[in-house]
Structure 1
Amino acid sequence: MPAAEQAGRLRPQTDRVLELALATAARWWPDREVPVSVNLSAANVTDLDLACKVAAALHRHGLPARALTLELVEDTLMADPERGRTVLADLRRSGVRTSIDDYGTGYSSLAYLRHLPADELKLDRSLTADVDRDPRVAAIGQSTVALAPALGLSLVAEGVETLAMSATLARLGYDVAQGYAIARPMPVDDFLPWLAASDSGLVDEALMPQLNQGPASD
């Protein structure tokens, strides 16, 4: 990634990843409406043409806007916050969901959340690890659960690796979970049978009580 940034290749690299992700999602949509997530860099977030590019890519692959979530870390907006907010607002108006990845590791101010056009917060694994054993971690999680819906945001727990963690996070009220307790990263040819098994109940749903499985990620 640093080499791509220095060479000025981050935007075309993201364009390629987006194409691959949407082509992959088209293999299971609409039989199974599981969205795919793609990470954005700072170069993408300040690209005023991004919403148009994304809309065109979705059209090429015959997918609705809800099939895609675009993720960014907090720090990517800091180079040009106003322009970044404009780009994210354009994406949301088109129906594409936007997500703040690794929340809790960057600026994380309440003022930042107030002005940020996003649909989802992904709480960093550093704030979910030991949630089943550390009351202080659980307290942080509980306060974030109370805050997110008040701001119109869904809440994702990252780094969910055990049954005990998933049960605690479900009790606290998280919306979605992501982590090895659901599955490890896998090629799409392995993911499709896994998804079918999940639909049929062959995947152990006890791992994720009351929590939704997150979107496929690229």
Structure 2
Amino acid sequence: MLTVVLIVPARRRAELFAFRSKALVYLTGCLAAIPFLTQFAISAATCEQNPSWKFSISSALAITLIILARALTEEILYRWILWSALSRIGFRIPALIVLTAIIFAAFHAWKLSSWVSWVYVFSAGLLLGLVRFATDSVLLATLVHTCWNLASGLLYGMTHVAGIPETTPAVLCKTTGTIHPLDLLGITVSVAAIAIFLRRRRT
């Protein structure tokens, strides 16, 4: 955060942190999508309660701050620098959302265990791109990204999600590579809703 304040011009910082008047409405909707998409990941895995998991306020705060910093870094890279570069080239909003999501998922591919994991991360990229477009704010995309990683970290461990060592997940999940048909239907409906939203925004 300090680096951004020091090296980014004031006008660009305003672009980075500003958001439209209806941004909180979109933000609430996108945050509501996180449990559904997390359920999508769970349905493709075998999960059980981790008996060794322990909670403490100090460690939870430290982990949250680390994940927030990581999310801000990735959002500046993908939904600000890359987004702006592709926009200047001439890509329109739907292409910006999809391309940044593909690149976002590709750079996470090294730690993905199956195609289901890739779809999960790609879906996160689409959601974050939609937040970036709907709210015109990288900051709000960062908040959604942080919540997403916290939810994922509880299932798969913070080491897997944010590279934080010596942490264990609350639930032990192992991806199986298969998903429930209802989850596929849910993903299809979500994609259709996003498409309708983008079409209405252009009219």
TM-score by length of 2: 0.24
Q: Give the TM-score taking structure 1 as reference length.
A: 0.23
Structure number with the higher strand fraction is 1
Greater RCO, 1 or 2 (C-alpha within 8 Å, sep 6+) = 2
